[in-house]
Amino acid sequence: MFDELLAHPGVREVSDLRSRFGFMAFHGGNLEKGTDDIAFAAAERSGASTYAIIQPPDLRWHLPSTTIDPAESPALACFLDHVEVVVTVHGYGREGLFTTLLLGGRNRRLAEHVGLHLRAGLPDYEIRDQLEQIPRELRGMHPENPVNRPPAAGVQVELPPRVRGLGPYWEQRPHKRGPDGRVSHTEALIASLAAAARSWSVDLGMSSVAR
């Protein structure tokens, strides 16, 4: 099914190889809105590599993360061969969790590192970086999930609508958007992710990975 998605009219793969720290947004575009913009901006500010799949405005095709297979995408395979560690940017929405960010994935040391930066930059949000606090289906621990395919695995960041600048909270505050269309919360998120990437040492390697 992944190859069918990539072949669908209007679907784009975008990859840019820089450092061995990577950002991904493979549910980007019209599916989990704002995730590709956040990944691109954080990577640009930190010199990190990026990979994204961008769905056009007329498509919302969700594939489980475990079906995003590098064997079906040379661009994804190249990206995963290049990076040592990755942060995947996702969107989610659940009642009662509209100001809660979830940090899953197998690199738990990186999750704590990213969590420290997010707490500093987003004091009005709850940051959950302990697996037992995250719903099981959002923990991102499956080995075939792209977040866990690099040598040192990575962190799956689940973002509620508000921090992505979506939903009724911002619809009631249209004057709060900057000239680039982003709201202050999204700008703070991007700055925090970029700071986490800049200050992370990929030399921590596999000792950080949960089994």
Residue 175 reports pLDDT greater than 90: no
H or E element in which residue 154 lies: strand 154-159
Residue 205 reports pLDDT greater than 50: no
Asked whether residue 179 is domain-assigned, the answer is yes
Domain with 81 in it: 2-202
Confidence band of 203 (pLDDT split at 50, 70, 90): low
Q: What is the CATH number of the domain that holds 86?
A: 3.40.630.100
Instruction: State the pTM of this model.
Output: 0.92
Asked whether residue 70 is domain-assigned, the answer is yes
Q: How far is CA 189 from CA 1, 10, 130, 199, 206, in A?
A: 32, 28, 19, 16, 26
Residue positions counted in the chain:
211
Asked whether residue 207 is domain-assigned, the answer is no
- Which tokens belong to 25? 């947004």
Helices 108-121 and 184-199: crossing angle in degrees, nearest 10, is 140
Give the residue from 44, 40, 21, 24 showing the smallest Cα distance to 197. Answer: 21
* Digit-coded pLDDT (tens) for 11-44: 999 999 999 999 999 999 999 999 999 999 999 9
Residue 211 reports pLDDT greater than 80: no
Asked whether residue 13 is domain-assigned, the answer is yes
Overall number of domains in the chain: 1
Q: What is the average pLDDT score of the chain?
A: 93
